[in-house]
Structure 1
Amino acid sequence: MEFGPLQLLVVVFKDPHFTGGVLTELHRLREHDIVRLIDMLVVRKNEHGALTTLEMSDLSAEERHQFGMVVGSLVGFGAEGDKGVDKGAEAGAAIIGDGLFDDEERWAIADAVPVGAAAAIALLEHRWAMPLRTAIGEAGGTAVTDAWIHPADFVATGAALAAQHQQKSFGQGGDR
């Protein structure tokens, strides 16, 4: 089974106003095969401390098993080389077989959510990128790195450039 690039998304809602918009957009993305939801856990704690949880996945039990094997074999390879692949695949399938979050992790997440807030943790597979990845590979290309770039990254870059410019100006007798 082939998997596309994965993104771990963690979102905090300090004062949640859920109207269905987030789930509607997620459904649209899934419906158009843009993303596939590997697993998602949403935990909301109301103003009285009562918990509401929602867990969703697009994977069947067999797909979860296969996903666990793939992830486990990669971890096993990283830990022990070729001899760790089979052991890792077996362990990964067992761990992820019922979903990414076990009861202990659900409670730990719930404990971390403040009263009146909510949090969502989602593992998304970017299906749209799979044909592009294949085309790059067929052309002899290899991805060297990839990263998400957020608006805050541009702000930080601008601040760093300004500080660098100010340092140069100061060192050359410019305005102080």
Structure 2
Amino acid sequence: MTAPLQLIALTFRLEADAESRLLAEVDRIRGRGVLRVLDMVLLAKGRDGTVEALEVGDGEDFGSLLAGIAPFGAENGGRQAVGDGVAGEPAGSGVDALMNSVEPGNAVAFLLVEHLWASPLADAVSAAGGALISDDFLTGDISRAIGAEVAAVEEASAVIAEAQAAEAAAVLRAVAAGAAAAEAEAASEQIQEAAAAAAVSALIAAGLIEEAAAHEAVTALTAAGLITDAAAQASDEAFAGAAATIALADQATDEAVTEDLALIGAADEVAAEATKEAQARTRAASITRSEAQVLRYLPQPVPFSVIADKLGISRSAAKERAERLYQRLGVHSRDEAVSRARALGLLRR
């Protein structure tokens, strides 16, 4: 099954380097292997409303595939006039409608694109007996509203990721502190063993016991309490040092956990605030044209009757639009709406 194909139309102003920048971007898309530009046609609308096909690149074989879809006019991008934008053949009615909507002095780039990334998906669908039934883009108000919501979710996700990173750092520091405490405890045991060995060695060196009978001597002397004090003192000192080390490690662990819990709490508050702000911006992005007209007059010290006269509507209609506007902004009064709109950049300060 062929990878999904799509005809994309983009309008732009006719400038000195507009065509060269567009061609450079097409070359970049070709090199990425995700999309493949199969064909391209550029149509320009003159100041007198006449539409003509522009030449695309030097020696580029553009226009042959799209010529079979709609009457784009000149073959291979030649500068042949294609009419004044009035609908002609049925296959080209969509092109004519687009060109009619374009202001004079602007151009439209038509790109036939193959979505290479979706080729394995298309093969899987074909193997299951299916077929591609739609490939529409989201445009206009729907695209802007969803775009604002996506941006809000991404912003909140970034803040949450920072909080999770801080929490992970706290756990790592706690583990490191626990490892230090374990090392200190092991060191204390080694010191205790060394102290006992040093006591036995001292007794042997003094000739009090023979080396061959050291084990039995240690057992007997320990039972008699003759080396308990020396060994106990060394052990106590070792344990005291180890206990101090462990206490310091525990304190460091507690401080690290406390500090990181504070960071996580602060990050959660920032995330909540960012999410709240993003939701407010999403609601603000859905303001209708009629509500925006009322919003423009709210900062002025005029009653709703005057606003209604300026908009050519009734006072009750103006009030209803204002109430809907308050709901979208999450406020309850005219002053709050003005303040919130300025904070969101909907009104100049």
Q: Which has the higher contact order (CA 8 A, sep 6+)?
A: 1
State the structure with more CA Rg.
2
TM-score normalized by the length of structure 2: 0.28
TM-score normalized by the length of structure 1: 0.48
Q: Which structure carries more strand by proportion?
A: 1
